[in-house]
Structure 1
Amino acid sequence: MNTCRVVWCLVVSLLPLLSQARVTTFSQCPAFFVDGLSPTVLRDHGNNNRYQEICQCLLDQNNKPQYFYATLYDTQSKIPVYSAYNLSHADTGRDDRWYVEPQLDGGKVECMGGQHQIPIANRGQRQALNRDYDGSGYDKGHLYPVYHTSTPTAMLATSTLTNAAPQDPTFNRGRWRLAEEKLVELSRDCLHAFVVTGVVPGNKAIGNGVRVAKHYWSALCCMKKEGRQSWAFVGPDNNGQVQELSVKELDQRLSGEGHFDTEFTVFDGRC
């Protein structure tokens, strides 16, 4: 009798885990990558579940996932490593509601949703929450920014906390905003524009262990009739400026000590 009770308790305790939504992988959304190949996916050999591949989606009217971009998310630092998307700018309104990814913390919803869709005991364990930013003095810095969207639903889809990192407000609304605008200008003659924007975590944290971004970086691959062209940006530097550099130089910088400390490539030499 006691054995049966133990087994039943184990079954009941496992039910939430068995029924939770499966975290997506990049194989479900290759359209956001040059030639369908993602930037380097980081690995932590001490924690195989640290870096999560997310195909960022909203559910449509038929309750089917509609994908808008892809994010590699660091569940330990609680900020993204990068978001990859197709740049398509148009003037859209802005809605400052913020979503989370319920499936990262045991929720049953595959796409982004509300905090209430995460079991109470799990909230904030593997991702940032709104309360982490409250009173911190930092902006929720979009990696895939509203300025690079062209539809209301794409705009909404950028407002998930897995697509944001704590960013100095002056830099976010100043120098980095100008870099985002320049990417739009550079993409005007592209048949297709692939962008990857990421962050390098610093040593400071806000809230419940959400790491503040030390650097932001972005790379554009422009598809033209005559071939492919690329640009890259990184900042802030010691003077708060954004530097323009080649994608190859960006790869070298991100691969170096104090950044990702492993060989890293954005477009794998394809752009």
Structure 2
Amino acid sequence: MSQRKMLHFSTGALLLLLPWFGSLVLGEVNKDFSNCLDFFYDKTPPQGISAPGYQPICQRHKNQYHFASLYDRQRRVPLYSAYILSPAEGKRPNSTWMYEPQLAFSRAGSEMTPFHSPVDQNVMESQAVFQDYKGSNFTKGHLNPSMHQKTKEDREATFTLTNIVPQQKGSNSGPWNQLENEVLSRYKAFCKGPMHVITGAMPYESVERWIKNRVSVPEYMWSAYCCPSYSSDLPESVQPFFPTYAAVGRNDRNSEEEIVPVNVKARASVRGYDVRRMTLETLEGILRQRLSMPISLFHGQCQ
């Protein structure tokens, strides 16, 4: 296996990515999230993620910001997407897949752009493209799911590959989809103000997995929400879920069970893609250990 595939969150890997930042100019792909801080609780992005290889993207579609993503150029996947949950007022849109032109050309327009054939070589080098997923046996897993977005334009904006990771079908349409529906139901029933959600991907700890030697496959998915304003008369059974809660889901049914145990009684199609619900503190502890970064997802722990 080549040295490139073996890269993980280490100093050596990060140094390889420094040249990318010399060509960046002001735009929606920028040095920080200053243009889209509203998608983060208290206008504060997650703290402790200081690696220069991660690229902030204010996801812009039809002249509006819709959510924010921190993109890993080396792995060609987002580390996370951050958004404000707002139940969909309509159906899942027909998927027109898009890319971020400023990842390829620093002076390009700031709007996400539909793929055209043939795909420009500079685009292919800078990010994942639609062809990476064709025949890969992986689904295109949304970090910001379209049905967590209110308007048609909001939902369309989630169909950019800078919001997508390779996800096993058993996870994407099984336990992980159930988690997304649970969060949506909890918001509708008990949240009295904005719910800020951050959903991300966790790479393999040592030997990484790739599709087509280009796009990193996550070993786990993770998600956390912050709802600081909620019903004052929460049922006792619901109280542990506010103001924050979190989860980690398996994206490899053969992974060890230290982080997420396997339910051996689950039906065969989803067995091994279990989701473990947990506190925000537990998730942050897992991320700190796996990513070797002092991560804090919500400012003041959403208090």
Which TM-score applies when normalising by structure 1?
0.83
1:231 lines up with 2:245 in the alignment: yes
Per the alignment, residue 89 of structure 1 pairs with: 87
Equivalent residue for 2:76? 78
Alignment of 1:1-271 (within 5 A): 23-24=29-30, 25-40=32-47, 42-44=49-51, 48=52, 50-59=53-62, 65-93=63-91, 94-106=93-105, 108-116=108-116, 120-188=120-188, 189-190=190-191, 191-202=193-204, 203-224=208-229, 229-236=243-250, 237-239=260-262, 240-256=273-289, 259-271=290-302
Question: Structure 1 stretches of 5 or more lacking a match?
Answer: 1-16, 60-64
CA gap of 1:243–1:119, structure 2 versus 1, over 3 A, is closer
Is the 8 Å Cα contact of residues 115 and 123 (structure 1) preserved in structure 2? no
Structure number with greater CO (CA < 8 Å, separation at least 6) is 2
- Aligned equivalents of 1:136, 1:115: Cα separation in 2: 19
Give the structure 2 partner of residue 4 of structure 1: none
Match of 1:269, SS state, is helix
CA radius of gyration, larger in: 1
CA distance in 1, matches of 2:225, 2:218: 20
Conserved? CA contact 1:146–1:155, under 8 Å: yes
Partner SS for 1:124: helix
Structure with the largest fraction of strand = 1
Give, in angstroms, the shift of residue 175 of structure 1.
0.3
Displacement of 1:216? 0.5
Query: C-alpha offsets along residues 52-98 of structure 1, whole Å, 9 cap, x if unaligned?
Result: 10010113xxxxx3000000000000000100000011242222111
Deviation at 1:20, TM superposition (A): 9.5
How far apart are residue 123 of structure 1 and its match?
A: 2.2
Q: Please tell me whether the aligned partners of residues 101 and 113 of structure 2 are also in contact (alpha carbons under 8 angstroms).
A: yes
Number of residue-to-residue matches in the alignment: 244
19-28 vs 205-214, which moves further: 19-28
Q: Distance in 1 between matches of 2:163 and 2:88?
A: 20
Give unmatched runs, 5+ long, in structure 2. 1-22, 233-241, 251-259, 263-272
Distance 2:105 2:69 in 1: 19
Following superposition, the deviation at residue 207 of structure 1 comes to: 2.4
Change (3 A) 1:180 1:119: closer
TM-score using structure 2 length: 0.75
Q: Distance in 2 between matches of 1:198 and 1:82?
A: 4
Q: Is the 8 A contact 1:86 1:192 kept in 2?
A: yes
Change (3 A) 1:119 1:174: closer
